[in-house]
Amino acid sequence: MNQPPSRRRKKAIPAASNDSTLPNDLAEEDISPQENPALATIDVPAVEVPELTEQEQSDRLHLERRVERAFFEAGKALTELRDRRLYRSTHKTFEDYCRERFGFSRRQPYHLIEAAVIFDNLVEKCERNVHILPTNEWQIRPLSKLDPDIQPEAWEQAVESAKGKVPSHRIVKDAVQRIMERTQVPNTYQLGEVCQILAKDNPELRGKGGCWGIVSQVNEFTCTVKTWNGEYTVGLQHLKSYNYLPAECEQMLVICDRIGRVYSDSLEETVKSLLQLLGKVNRPYLTAVEEKLLSVVELEYGNEIKF
């Protein structure tokens, strides 16, 4: 019967032995580096990474800018779609169009539109040595609380806090809060006060520029105002008081309620235009002709109000 091959075993070396010379049989049993992976040396060839050419550097910068400006381009496109009413063949409102076409919430397209305006402002007014620009709408949303002239200052402070990198939403919000605390102006508006709405560059106030509204709630930096077709929360920078007398303010509240009871998007365009014009009168009363026209509309739609 065949005997199994004999296996070499490494003999133990007595701990007390100081002899540095190993017996021949032990020397023969040592494992060579080629047989022990732990002692093997692996040669890794060096790979040289070529520097970018001047054209590649230009292409990289161009593509990076396209990534950074994606939300900006979206805001610009939405602005044109809205202003030219290019949705009118399929949808009644811009909000419905954005929801069904892009899956946006009601406010999301307006956030992008506003962000595009702010981005343009930063490009124009930031110091030339500030090359860091926003890469998404969420980063610069806090800047909407500031006047356009102050937005670049807040952005530059945020970039500095981020150590020269693109700042996060939180960092920008903190910079905005510091500026607001420094420049805080007391809200002196009163309940029932009649104010003119100044739309400026605020897309959420589109169509409301020049309209009058009645203050229904006073907040720290904003007022809620009641207009002929709803209530809106408006920043103090977007309001201008008419300084009407209390009796005149009460009269305007009556007019506001009358218009609000008959106004709807389903009205004929002529009637809607009339009510919108009455919502922009810059005096605390209606003329005799305006009063008659409003009474006819109230009568026609079954909402005539007796005083």
| pLDDT for residue 222 | 86
Examine the pLDDT at 263 and tell me if it is beyond 70.
Answer: yes
Local confidence band at 234 (pLDDT 50, 70, 90 cut-offs) = confident
| pLDDT for residue 177 | 85
Local confidence band at 229 (pLDDT 50, 70, 90 cut-offs) = confident
Q: How far apart are CA 186 and CA 236, in angstroms?
A: 10
Tell me the per-residue pLDDT of 153-184, one tens digit each, with 9 for 90 and over: 999 999 999 988 899 999 999 999 888 877 76
Q: How far apart are CA 258 and CA 241, in angstroms?
A: 22
Of the candidates 257, 258, 243, 255, which has an alpha carbon nearest to the alpha carbon of residue 196?
243
Examine the pLDDT at 15 and tell me if it is beyond 50.
Answer: no
Q: Please report, for the chain, the start and end positions of each structural domain, with discontinuous segments joined by +.
A: 58-182, 187-307
> What are the Cα distances from residue 148, in Å, to 17, 60, 119, 123, 211?
87, 31, 10, 12, 22
Which one is predicted more confidently, 8 or 123? 123
CATH class name, domain 187-307: mainly beta
Interval 81-85 mean pLDDT: 90
Structure tokens that stand for 239 in this block: 């309001």
